[in-house]
């Protein structure tokens, strides 16, 4: 598929996701009412509040989806591991744990503080997972990395649960850090973390040539003139920054970084320059649609977007692992 067609299709998908997100929810609203609120026209205060909440969660979903999808695409290229992804590797859970500990013991209250804490947690978990993976045979690296990430994820989730038990008064503010959700957040927080998102996106989107060279092997990459250590470090920094920022915004949302890059590769091939750009467009639509499904699947309650993404992504993980083991 041509790149322009893929980008156009992705843009239409995002537009459809945004429109559906504004129109669909537990509380039914007439499209005319939604249009009036969005355009600043007169509307019932209750309906205006509902639409405003949908706008906030839609914008958060777009930012988080793009960040996590880009991060997953970079991690898969850097590690040459088809199941590498911030959620599966435990990076999101480590970031969420760091934020929860920061809130509980350091009194963090700003999104910027959340991002700093999430960065620390993400880096620590990345180093831990990599260390555990190196202990396993190289031929088992893909599965070993996923198992190490799953173990770290389970530990992080247990510790977050422990914080909830010891501080019941903070249950409502902490609970979404366990599964990830775009609801109940202020879209203005996207502006607060915009510098982190922009820097991470620039580092990730410019990593395409590096990832293409690394796919051929580090020795050949050096022969092609790549400064492998520097460029890998910049790409990894972008992936970590995006994963940490997304977690600071919406908690640990997994599998987006696995599903989206694989879907894009199936359409466009393995050129990372194309995969990265289109993943940044498709990822936002994926998360917003997951949030929409969570709103309507069990009314009058809602299912968090993180849970829906996990349900959609788990079968993809199984298929990828089976394909890797069959090689």
Q: For the chain, which residues make up each domain, given as ranges?
A: 3-8+88-326
pLDDT tens for each residue of 259-288: 999 999 999 999 999 999 999 999 999 999
50: closest CA among 63, 34, 35, 65? Answer: 34
Place of tokens 């992504």: 313
What mean pLDDT is reported for the chain? 86
pLDDT band at 319 (very low <50, low <70, confident <90, very high): confident
Query: Among 207, 233, 230, 240, which residue's Cα sits nearest to residue 89?
Result: 240
Whether 286 contacts 260, CB under 8 Å:
yes
Token pair 């939604």 is at which residue? 34
pLDDT digits (tens, 9 = 90+) for 76-97: 998 888 888 898 889 999 999 9
Residue 28 has pLDDT above 90, yes or no: no
Joined tokens for residue 161: 């649960």
Residue 171's pLDDT band, with cuts at 50, 70 and 90, is low
Contact assessment for residue 40 and residue 222, using Cβ atoms and an 8 Å cutoff: no
Total-model pTM: 0.90
Confidence of residue 69 (pLDDT cuts 50, 70, 90): very high
Residue 71: closest CA among 221, 195, 196, 187: 196
How far is residue 187's CA from residue 63's CA, in Å, rounded to a whole number? 10
325 pLDDT band (50/70/90 cuts)?
low
Cα–Cα distance measured from residue 235 to residue 201, given in angstroms and rounded to the nearest whole number: 10
pLDDT over 70 (residue 201):
yes
CB 97 within 8 A of CB 265: no
Q: How confident is the model at residue 220 (pLDDT cuts 50, 70, 90)?
A: low
Lookup: tokens for 94: 């480590």
pLDDT(9) > 90: yes
Residues 34-68: pLDDT tens digits? 888 888 777 788 888 889 999 999 999 999 999 99
Say if residue 15's pLDDT is above 90. Answer: yes
**Mean pLDDT for the stretch of residues 163-172:** 66
Q: Does domain 3-8+88-326 have CATH number 1.20.1250.20?
A: no
Q: Does pLDDT of 258 surpass 60?
A: yes
Start-to-end CA span in the chain (Å): 26
Please give the structure tokens belonging to residue 26: 């537990």
Hey, is 50 helix, strand or coil?
helix
Residue 224 pLDDT class (50, 70, 90 cuts): low
Alpha helices for the chain (secondary structure H)? 3-23, 31-38, 45-79, 91-101, 111-134, 141-166, 171-174, 176-179, 188-192, 194-205, 208-214, 218-223, 228-250, 256-268, 272-296, 305-326
For residues 29 and 102, give the distance between their C-alpha atoms in angstroms, rounded to a whole number.
39
Q: How large is the average pLDDT for residues 169-173? A: 58
The CA–CA distances, whole Å, from 6 to 1, 23, 71 equal 7, 26, 19
pLDDT at 143 over 80: no
């Amino acid at each position: 598929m041509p790149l322009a067609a893929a980008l156009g299709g992705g843009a239409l998908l995002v537009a459809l996701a945004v429109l559906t997100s504004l129109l669909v929810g537990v509380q039914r609203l007439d499209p005319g009412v939604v249009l009036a609120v969005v355009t600043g026209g007169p509307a019932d205060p209750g309906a205006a509040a509902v639409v405003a909440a949908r706008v906030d969660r839609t914008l958060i979903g777009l930012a988080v989806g793009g960040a996590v999808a880009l991060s997953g695409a970079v991690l898969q290229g850097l590690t040459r591991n088809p199941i590498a992804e911030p959620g599966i590797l435990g990076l999101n859970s480590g970031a969420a744990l760091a934020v929860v500990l920061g809130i509980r013991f350091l009194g963090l209250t700003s999104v910027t503080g959340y991002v700093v804490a999430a960065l620390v947690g993400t880096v620590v978990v990345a180093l831990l997972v990599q260390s555990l993976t190196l202990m396993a045979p190289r031929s088992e690296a893909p599965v070993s990395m996923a198992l190490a990430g799953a173990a770290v994820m389970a530990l992080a989730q247990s510790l977050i649960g422990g914080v909830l038990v010891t501080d019941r008064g903070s249950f409502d503010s902490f609970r979404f850090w366990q599964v990830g959700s775009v609801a109940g957040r202020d879209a203005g927080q996207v502006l607060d973390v915009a510098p982190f998102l922009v820097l991470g996106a620039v580092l990730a989107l410019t990593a395409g040539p590096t990832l293409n060279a690394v796919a051929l092997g580090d020795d050949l990459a050096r022969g092609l003139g790549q400064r492998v250590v520097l460029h890998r470090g910049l790409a990894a920094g972008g992936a970590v920054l995006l994963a940490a920022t997304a977690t600071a915004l919406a908690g640990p949302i997994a599998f987006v970084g696995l599903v989206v890059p694989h879907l894009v590769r199936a359409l466009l091939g393995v050129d990372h320059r194309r995969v990265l750009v289109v993943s940044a467009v498709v990822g936002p639509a994926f998360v917003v649609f997951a949030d929409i499904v969570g709103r309507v699947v069990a009314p009058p309650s809602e299912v968090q977007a993180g849970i829906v993404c996990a349900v959609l992504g788990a079968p993809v993980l199984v298929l990828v692992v089976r394909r890797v083991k069959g090689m």
